[in-house]
Amino acid sequence: MAAADDGERDEIRRSVREFVEREVLPVCDDLDNRDQEIPLPVIGKMAELGYFGLIFPAEYGGMGLDTVAMAIVTEELSRGWLSVGSVMTRMLITGSLIMAAGTEEQKRKWLPRIASGEVLTAAAFTEPDVGSDTASMKLRAEKRDGQYRLTGEKTWCTFANRAHVLTVLARTDPEARPKHKGLSILLVEKNPGDGFSPPALAGSPIPTIGYKGMRSYSLQFDGYPCAVDNLLGGEEGKGFYQLMATYEYARIQTAARAVGVAQASLDAALKYSQERIQFDRPIADFQVIRHKLAHAVTEIEAARRLCYYAAEMKDTGKRCDLEAGMAKAFAAEMAERVTSEMLQVFGGYGYSREYPAQRYWRDARVFRIFEGTSEIQYEVIAKRILGGK
C-alpha cells in the first residue's frame, strides 16, 4: 500500500473534483428530480479512473492507495452526488472482503475485474426480518449436486440490478451454535439488469425519499445457484467474522460520504447567502446566518478530521473499530444537522426542487441508518470504552 503524501492527496482531490464538475454536476439534479439512476457511462469513467480498485494492491489490478486517499476520493465524489460516492462503496465492500479473506485464486479472479469495472458488485446482507442483528441472518445456502442453492430473502440490496455479483451473507449451517458460526459469504453471479431471473431470483425496487441515483432492491431467492468455488475463503462458517473485519473500511468510507454531502450543502449556502438580498443587504450580513455558516464549517472540519484519523489508524494496520465507529456516527449526525441548517439559509427556495439544498438534506438522512445505525455504532463505542460490557 502506498501512503500518499500531502501533495499527492491534493492532486487526487483536484482530479476527482474535476471529474465531478465535468461528469456529475451537469446532470445530477435533473436525474435526481426524475428518479433516474446514474448513467452507465459515468460509472464506466469511474472505473477507468481507477476509483473501484483504489485500495487493491497493484498486483491485483488496483492503485494500491491508502485509506486516507480512499476517503478523499469518496468525499469529493459524494460532494457531487451521494449516489456517485456510493457506487464505489459496493466495490470497496466486496473487494475488501476478497482482499482480506479470499483465497489466492479468488483474489486473482475477482479483484482485477472489479477494479476495471468489468464486474460490478452489490452487498446483500440485510433481510426483511433481520437488519442490525447480523448473526441472525436466515437466507439459506444449501450444498446440492456440487453447488450451493440459495433460498430466502434479502432486502435493501442497493445496485442489485446493475451488479454482476451479489455478495451474499448466507446460512450454510442452520444447526451451528452460536448461530453466527453458521454464516458464510458467497459471491453470487447474476446477469445485470432489472429483470433478474425469476422465479429463482426475483427483485423489486424499494421507493425511497433520497439516494436516487441507485436503486435498492428486495430480492427473493428460490433455489438460485452459486458455484462452490465462490465461497469466500473456501471455508464455511467464517462469514460473520469476515464481514466484521471489513466494517472498518465501510464505516470510514461512509463518514467520508457524509462529509462530502455536508460540504456540498455548505458550498451552496455560502454562495446563496451572499447573493440573496433582504432588508437591502445580503442575508450573509445577518449574524444568525453568518453563525449558521460558521457552525457548519466547524462541524464539517471536525468530522473530516475524525474520518482521516480513523483512516490513518487503518493504514497503520491497527484495530480501529472504535475510531471508525466514532467517525461514522459523528459524521452521520453532523450531515443531518448541517444539511438541514443549510436548507434553512435558502428559506422557501430550500424546499424547492429548483435548488439542490433539499437533495443534500434528503440524502444526508440515510447516513444514520445504513452501514450500521447510529445506535449500533454507539453500542460498539460503549463496549470498547466499558471493556466489552
Applying CB under 6 A, does 51 fall inside the site for ligand FAD?
no
Burial label for 85, CB within 10 Å (0-12, 13-18, 19+), is buried
CB of 135 to ligand FAD, least distance (A): 11
Task: State in Å, rounded, how far the first CA of the chain is from the last one.
Answer: 35
Could you say whether residue 131 binds ligand FAD (CB under 6 A)?
A: yes
**What DSSP element (H or E) covers 44?**
helix 40-48
Closer to ligand FAD by Cβ: residue 272 or 361: 361
Q: How far is the CB of 170 from ligand FAD (least distance, A)?
A: 12
CA 123 to chain centre: 10
Among 74, 83, 126, 263, binds ligand FAD (CB under 6 A): 126
* CB atoms inside a 10 Å sphere around CB 261: 30
Contacts of 201 (CB under 8 A, 6+ apart): 190, 219, 220, 221, 222, 224
C-alpha cell of 74? 469518496
Using CB under 6 A as the criterion, what x/- string covers residues 364-383 for binding ligand FAD?
--x--xx--x-xx--x----
Exactly one of 151, 208, 340, 344 binds ligand FAD (CB under 6 A); that residue is: 208
Give whichever of 119 and 366 is closer to ligand FAD, judged by the CB atom: 366
Tell me if residue 175 is catalytic: no
Chain positions 216 to 235 lying near ligand FAD, rule: CB under 6 A, are: 216
What is d(CA 333, CA 326) in angstroms, rounded to the nearest whole number? Answer: 11
CB under 6 A: which stretch of 1-9, 123-131, 189-197, 354-362 binds ligand FAD? 123-131
Q: Which residue is nearest to ligand FAD (CB)?
A: 131
**# residues near ligand FAD by CB under 6 A:** 19
Reference 249, options 28, 67, 16; nearest CA is 67
Element (DSSP H or E) covering residue 225: strand 216-227
Shortest approach of ligand FAD to residue 258 CB, angstroms? 14
Q: Which stretch binds ligand FAD (CB under 6 A): 120-128, 252-260, 307-315, 324-332?
A: 120-128
Q: Coil, helix or strand for 286?
A: coil
DSSP classification of residue 20: I
Query: Measured from the CB of residue 211, what is the shortest distance to ligand FAD in angstroms?
Result: 5
Does 157 help bind ligand FAD (rule: CB under 6 A)? yes
Pull the grid cell for residue 133.
442483528
Catalytic residue among 23, 75, 153, 371: 371
CA distance linking residue 291 with residue 303, whole number of Å: 18
Catalytic residues: 371
Tell me which residues touch ligand FAD (CB under 6 A).
Answer: 123-126, 131-132, 156-158, 208, 211, 216, 366, 369-370, 373, 375-376, 379
